[in-house]
Amino acid sequence: GCATVLVTGGAGYIGAHACKLLKEAGHRPVVFDNFRTGWREAVRFGPLTEGDLLDPAAVRSAFDRFRPDAVMHFAALSDVGESMERPELYWRNNVVGSMNLLDAMTATGVGRLVFSSTCATYGEARGELTESHPQNPINAYGRSKLAVERMIGDYAALGIETVSFRYFNVAGADPAAEIGEHHEPETHLVPLLLDAIAGDRPEIVINGDDYETPDGTCIRDYLHVTDLAGAHVLGLRHLLDGGGSLTLNLGTGRGFSVREVIEAAERTTGRTAPVRVGPRRPGDTPRLVCSGAAAHAALGWRPVRSTMTEMIADAWAWRATGRFNA
């Protein structure tokens, strides 16, 4: 049946898309967000309970008030560069915040969790990643998320079943352009590129073109945000049906270089991007691709909107709406 789902980070980019799909699937998403990186305009699909995961009383009162059947946990700091300069923020927010969430779940008897993890928990990788790849994260962000994965694993003894998803790059927007991507400051390739194409930024800087890849620029696996959010709804369904804990990668298995993303954006928008080649960005690896095969086998998930053209077109259409008019 239908579930009340507490969605931490439900005012953020991915969380808001999950809320929309939860509502469309007949569930009731309750957003829990501190609005550090989320947007009030993105809370449109269910009630809001404003609070911080670092405040155990606020977390507990959200559970007492809304009596959720399950939790989707997106709330986290996720900027890799910032995590190396301010590791304490990442360890506290991501690890202590998740612990407060798990404690509220066990205290109130909520035993189903869908956790938004990351392929950054793997660290250096060559070739297509599978779930059994060793986890040796190379930055504080990845290490904090791996710590949460381990903690969640141990809380299984307290009755918490979890579907964890690991994924790389997310792009695109709600096809109806009701919600989309908006970060301040923006660091991600697709929104920066579309800004440059629209003339809102002087140029897009390619972070190095001397990598060991066919065109010298880094290759990444990009997933449409609605495909990603859809996987989370399927993970919830799996838990509600008693399927038990799973850890799954989400990807297309298809990589795009930075130059290929730029070309796709130029083709899709019909405009030219002002491009400059800059230095490498510390921490970038040449090629990161992961397969969705295990997620397909376990949940029947497959990406249906993750062509580069659709991701660019949806992000471009969302951009034209004025992005929460910010």
Binding site for ligand UDP (CB under 6 A): 169, 187-189, 192, 204-207, 218, 220, 258, 281, 284
The answer to whether the beta carbons of residues 31 and 5 sit under 8 Å apart is no
Label the pairing between strands 219-220 and 256-257.
Answer: antiparallel
Q: Which of 141, 155, 167, 211 is catalytic?
A: 141
Min CB(314)–ligand UDP separation in Å = 16
Please provide the distance, in angstroms rounded to a whole number, between the alpha carbons at the two ends of the chain.
38
**What whole-number distance in Å separates Cα of residue 96 and Cα of residue 90?**
9
Provide, rounded to whole angstroms, the least separation between the CB of residue 81 and ligand UDP.
9
Closest CB to ligand UDP among residues 155, 316: 316
If residue 31 lies in a helix (H) or strand (E), which one and from where to where? strand 28-33
> 190 vs 294, which CB is nearer to ligand UDP?
190
| Nearest-angstrom CA–CA distance, 261 and 256 | 6
Packing angle between helix 56-66 and helix 97-108, nearest 10 degrees? 40
Residue with smaller CB distance to ligand UDP, 87 or 286: 286
Gap between the Cα atoms of 71 and 68, Å rounded: 7
Minimum CB distance to ligand UDP smaller for 22 or for 204: 204
CB 204 → ligand UDP: shortest distance, Å? 6
Question: Are 28 and 65 contacting, i.e. CB atoms less than 8 angstroms apart?
Answer: no
Closest CB to ligand UDP: residue number: 218
Cβ of residue 57: shortest distance to ligand UDP, in angstroms?
34
Cis peptide before 185 (omega within 30 of 0): yes
- Clarify whether 141 is annotated catalytic: yes
Catalytic residues: 141
